[in-house]
Structure 1
């Protein structure tokens, strides 16, 4: 299992609700979370099949920005 992290502009519960179907499809329900308390709004995803690029694409498809964190 690989853990990937992204700095995002997902900032509230409404934003999380918008991105949920896209991320559930990409990495699976319960395999991702967004820390909206963190100033960088860090999204952490644990993937077994999706690549970091696919997670980023899912976030962007939902209308949000994502920059990889190392």
Structure 2
């Protein structure tokens, strides 16, 4: 299992819901959380099959910044 960590610009529960719908297209291939209290609005994704690029693109299509953190 890989844990991918991203900086985002989500600011509210509605943003989290929108991103959740975008990430929901991957079904059980991922588990994810968003920390809206962190200054980087951290999105953490656990997956064995989905790449960071694919996650960035999905979140970007939902209208949000998504930058992988080291």
Aligned match of 2:54: 54
Q: Deviations over 1:26-60 (max 9, x none)?
A: 36487001000001100000011100101111110
Partner SS for 1:31: strand
Q: Does the CA-based 8 Å contact 1:8-1:41 persist in structure 2?
A: yes
Relative to the length of structure 2, the TM-score reads 0.90
Long gaps (5+) in structure 2: none
The answer to whether the 8 Å contact 2:30/2:45 transfers is no
Count of aligned pairs between the two proteins = 70
Root-mean-square deviation over aligned CA pairs: 1.7
1:1-12 equivalences in 2 (<5 Å): 1-12=1-12
- Cα distance change, pair 50–27 in 1 and its aligned pair in 2 (3 A): farther
Segments of 4+ moved more than 6 angstroms? none
TM-score normalised to the size of structure 1? 0.90
Provide the residue aligned with 2:13 in structure 1. Answer: 13
